[in-house]
Amino acid sequence: MERVSKIIANAGYCSRRKAEELIQKGKVTVNGKVIQIGDKANVSDMISVEGNFLNREDKEYVLLYKPRGVVTTTSDDKNRKTVVDLIQTSNRIYPVGRLDYDTTGILILTNDGELANLLMHPKSNVDKLYVVKVKGLVPPVMLKKLCNGVILDGKKTAKAQARAKKYDKKSNTSIIELTIHEGKNHQVKRMFEALGYEVLKLKRETYSFLNLSGLTSGEYRHLTPKEVKKLYNEVLNEKK
């Protein structure tokens, strides 16, 4: 038996915290009976959340090379293409974290709520490498500031890694590699803007040990069981 909140999260319906909120509000039943936080259920039990019977799908893990002009959501009120539209699946998968509309690169989608929550947790410390093209020639002193952290919303960002990959004096642009493990909203763009640099292009090259090898923009592949296990091990070890 498992806690019902964990079963709901693992099924991809919502986060475990949200599931507990729904349980508190009396919106979750097991075999027709309203439950309390901490209650457990069996695989054979009928679980209903907000009037919807829980569909316990097979776990699916997708690595997508997100192209530009696609939103990182499961639906969009402006009828723009979403990352889910790019993937052929009968499961209800959703993106882990977010990439901006004009940002490209690696993105994980899954219906494994437990792994998604672990990866997005502030203490997960998952390294993410971005390749950033900015207006202007970024000197070493500014790279050092990126590494030491910049002030966003009154708080200093965590230490990062930054190095210049290419300078183009003719176009007055720099290509910088920046590795961070936080996930603040629009963080990379805002870090450069805080130092006075406009981001022209942004691509996420790696997520932990995963990269885009073998994929072109818009393509995807499924993670192997070994890769999924390695992700779990990484985030669980970080939380200890």
Domain boundaries defined on the chain:
2-53, 61-123+212-239, 128-207
Give mean pLDDT, residues 110-122. 87
- Asked if the model's pLDDT at residue 238 lies above 70, the reply is no
pLDDT confidence of residue 183: 83
Domain 61-123+212-239 has CATH 3.30.1330.60: no
Q: In this predicted structure, what is the pLDDT of residue 57?
A: 72
70-84: average pLDDT: 93
Cα-Cα-Cα-Cα torsion 71, 73, 75, 80, nearest 10 degrees, comes to 0
The Cβ-side half-sphere exposure at 78, using a 13 Å CA radius, reads: 8
Whole-number percent of the chain with pLDDT over 90:
76
pLDDT at position 239 is: 56
Domain 2-53 CATH class label = alpha beta
Fold of 128-207: Alpha-Beta Plaits (3.30.70)
> Fold match between 61-123+212-239 and 128-207?
yes
100 assigned to active site: yes
- The confidence score (pLDDT) of residue 55 equals 74
Query: What pLDDT score does 117 carry?
Result: 86
**From 39, 45, 76, 100, active-site residue:** 100
Check residue 6 and give its pLDDT.
Answer: 87
